[in-house]
Amino acid sequence: MKISSIIDIMDGEVLNSPSISFIYNIKQCASKVKEGDLFVAKNLNDIQIAINNGAFAILVDSYVSVTDFEIAWIKVGNLDEAIIKFIRFKLSNYDLNVFNCDEITFNYIKYLKPLNKIDLKLIETIDDILKILDDIEINNILIFKDKLFMNKLYPQNHLIEQIDSNKLKNIVKHTMFETSFTYNNIFFQKIKVPELYITNFLMAYDFLDCELDFSKLKNCELLRPIFVDRFINQVEFGKSNKFLILQNNLSLIEKEILYLKQNFKYGKIIFLCKEEINNFYAKQNIIEKEENLKDFLKSSNFNAAYLIGYKYEKLNELLNSEDIQTTLLF
């Protein structure tokens, strides 16, 4: 795209007379910049990294020293607003089907979406839409979980429909994490969806409206139990009386904790937090570093541990690394 067009769309000004007149993509992370990209400089210290990686343009919201006179230096009033103006302009050229939904339904759509459904694009952040901006086609379907963000980018949008609750019958709760039920005369047998989130799952099911692989639900992050042995090493689903649940969304914590307490009355539940949470619903154990979690859990008496604020990848790595002491005991 021509730099002159970008300046007009973003209502910006060029700070130099560059020899380069176009860019290919827009990036907000300096380490991911490639030759021909425009870099959004939210951190001025990252500008040189972006230039070294081949940036053709630098977008700033303050006057800065121009260090490379061949590339374009563009100043705008506000970086976020400028990017939104640009995306909105690009999207306005397409007739799209744009929806928003709650975060729980969004997650089920994300994990159940078939790989061949390429016309359906999920948008969580501004980076997500920047990545796909040049791949969008007429009649594509965009789903946002942030309604305010969506309204700024594409005002002609819709809310994903609620299910008809009269069509949901015969719910059988096998465990806190597995249910069977009938919906719209279709029997769903022992799928990994907690009773708490059946409605959201069915909203995703109705929306996708195609054959789905329910085995993908094992990867869904919603009330996803990680079963562990007494040494806090991960074991197969249901093969232990100890499990961990990880949650980073503070808006879901209250309902999930209530669900656990109602359905796990005879088990001991402990709560681990990366940092203290005000007005929490139970006693908090503050463990700031992931690497200290395993030792704390080994020394604790519990059946369920609800962990708040930790990275799943790091936790999974810790749980799958048997220490020497554990190995020798076997």
CATH numbers and ranges of domains, the chain: 3-85 (3.40.1390.10), 86-159 (no CATH), 165-216 (no CATH), 225-329 (3.40.50)
Mean pLDDT for each consecutive 10-residue tract of the chain (330 residues)? Answer: 94 94 93 95 95 96 93 95 94 92 95 91 90 87 92 92 94 94 95 96 95 90 91 90 92 91 90 90 88 92 93 84 49
pLDDT at site 330: 38
pLDDT at site 43: 94
Query: What DSSP string runs through 143-176?
Result: EES-HHHHHHH-SS-EEPPPP-GGGEEEEEESSS
pLDDT at site 328: 40
pLDDT at site 72: 96
pLDDT at site 323: 58
pLDDT at site 285: 93
- In angstroms, the Cα distances linking 233 to 89, 183, 303, 319, 330 are 51, 37, 14, 5, 13
pLDDT at site 322: 62
Quick one: DSSP state of residue 53?
T
| 143, β-bridge pairs | 99, 122
Count the neighbouring beta carbons within 10 Å of the beta carbon of residue 236.
7
pLDDT at site 132: 87
The runs of H, that is alpha helices, within the chain are 3-10, 47-52, 79-91, 103-112, 126-132, 147-153, 198-208, 250-263, 293-298, 312-319, 324-329
Residue 38 contacts residue 56 (beta carbons within 8 Å): yes
Write 271-277 long-range contacts (CB < 8 A, 24+).
271/305, 271/306, 271/308, 272/296, 272/297, 272/305, 272/306, 272/307, 272/308, 272/310, 273/307, 273/308, 273/309, 274/308, 274/309, 274/310, 275/309, 277/250, 277/308
